[in-house]
Amino acid sequence: MKRPILIHPDPRLKKLCDPVADLSDDLRTLADDMLETMYDAPGIGLAAPQVGILHRLIVLDCAKQDNGETPRPLVMINPRILASSDERSVYEEGCLSIPDQYADVERPKMVEVEWLDRDGKLQKEEFDGLWATCVQHEIDHLDGKLFIDYLKPLKRQMITRKMVKLKRERARP
Ligand SMILES: [Zn+2]
C-alpha cells in the first residue's frame, strides 16, 4: 500500500529517529509499503520519517533500470556508516520530501554500511557512486537532516519558501 510522503517543512522531518528494537510484521509491512511508495514516486530512496514514522528504517534501489540493470530493492534497518572515504564526490541531489528541487551536494565517495535486513540478518557492504550518495542521504533523514541543510542559507531559504507555497496550494480544496 502506498503511503503519503511528508513535504518539507514538517517537524517530523527534523527529528532524531529511534532505533528499531524488534522486527515485527508491522515493520516488514512498512518496509514493503515504503518500497512501493518509492518506486511509484518515482525515487531511488525513502526514509521512514518521510512517511511519518520516526524509526531508523530506510529503503533504496539505485539500479539503473533504464540501462537494463536488475532492480535491487534494499531494506536497511538501523543502518550505520562504519567508514567513509576521504575522497569526495558531488551529485545533484533531490528528495521526495522536497519535490522538483535539485542541488549539488558533496559527500564521501565511498561508505561502508552495516544494517539489519528484512529478515533481521546483519549485512555489511561498501557502496560507491550514486549508491553511496543515496545511502548517506537516507541515513541523514534518520538524524533529521535534509540535503538542503548542506546548502548555503540563502539557497536553503529559497527552497523552503517554495515548499511552503507548494503545501499551501496542495491544501487548497
Ligand atoms: Zn530525501
Of the candidates 30, 23, 25, which has an alpha carbon nearest to the alpha carbon of residue 53? 30
Indicate whether 2 belongs to any domain. no
- Is 8 labelled as part of a ligand binding site? no
- Cα of 96 to ligand 1 centre, how many Å? 6
Q: At residue 117, what is the residue type?
A: D
User: In whole angstroms, what is the distance from residue 2 CA to residue 16 CA?
Assistant: 24
What cell numbers appear for 14 in the block?
527534523
**pLDDT higher for 137 or 65?**
137
**How many Å apart are CA 30 and CA 70, to the nearest integer?**
23
Q: The domain spanning residue 152 has which CATH number?
A: 3.90.45.10
The H-or-E segment that residue 155 falls in is: helix 153-171
* Residue 169 clears pLDDT 90, i.e. is over it: yes
Element (H, E) at 160: helix 153-171
Q: Helix, strand or coil for residue 16?
A: coil
Tell me the per-residue pLDDT of 16-63, one tens digit each, with 9 for 90 and over.
Answer: 999 999 999 999 999 999 999 999 999 999 999 999 999 999 999 999
| Centre of ligand 1 from the C-alpha of residue 23, in Å | 24
Residue 109's domain comprises 9-169
In a domain, 91, yes or no: yes
Q: Mean per-residue pLDDT for 130-149?
A: 98
- Residue 134 annotated as binding site: no
In the predicted structure, residue 65 carries a pLDDT above the cut 90 = no
Q: Is the pLDDT of residue 82 over 90?
A: yes
Split into its structural domains, the chain has a count of 1
Task: Let me know if 138 is a catalytic residue.
Answer: yes
Residue 141 labelled as part of a binding site: yes
Does 1 map to a domain? no
Measured in Å, residue 94 CA sits from the centre of ligand 1 at 7
